[in-house]
Structure 1
């Protein structure tokens, strides 16, 4: 089990900026104030809201969550994804 401290706010901000999106670009799904609160870690999004935000950024929600847990480490991201695959396989038996 992974023990990394996730950073959803940082991952959200990184992807938004990598996609060249301003906070205003999310106006159809979230106010700029709300998005700012999410990026500062003052609020936590619901799964539904997370999906909407990821749709605007054109990434799968698992990409955002993987980045949040990977701590900027590609090797760690690979390990996390392998762990998820193994756990999913174990659930289908």
Structure 2
């Protein structure tokens, strides 16, 4: 059950990162450059294969022009929606 929850949260985080990146008009390469990571790391995040550390989450949110607390709130809202489905 815990592993399933983690997988769901990672998937939700990835979808939010991708949606926000696209909304900002950024490529994966652009966001990777802003966050000083490899493009493949952004790809892994967006596909839910990896999750950022707290410090990296702050960098990602800065690159995506949003507060980390707003990002977490979006994850929470989507997670609650999926739990109730």
Scaled by the length of structure 1, the TM-score of the pair is 0.65
| 2:41 is equivalent to residue 34 of structure 1 | yes
| 2:13 is equivalent to residue 14 of structure 1 | no
Q: Deviations over 1:48-80 (max 9, x none)?
A: 000001111111011111112222xxxx8xxxx
Structure 1, gaps ≥5 residues long: 77-93
Structure 2, gaps ≥5 residues long: 1-7
Looking at CA atoms only, which structure, 1 or 2, has the larger radius of gyration? 1
Equivalent positions of 1:57-72 (< 5 A) are 57-71=64-78
- In terms of fraction of residues, the more helix-rich structure is 2
**1:9·1:38 contact (CA, 8 Å) conserved in 2?**
yes
Distance 2:15 2:72 in 1: 11
RMSD (Å), alpha carbons: 2.1
Scaled by the length of structure 2, the TM-score of the pair is 0.71
| 2:29 is equivalent to residue 24 of structure 1 | yes
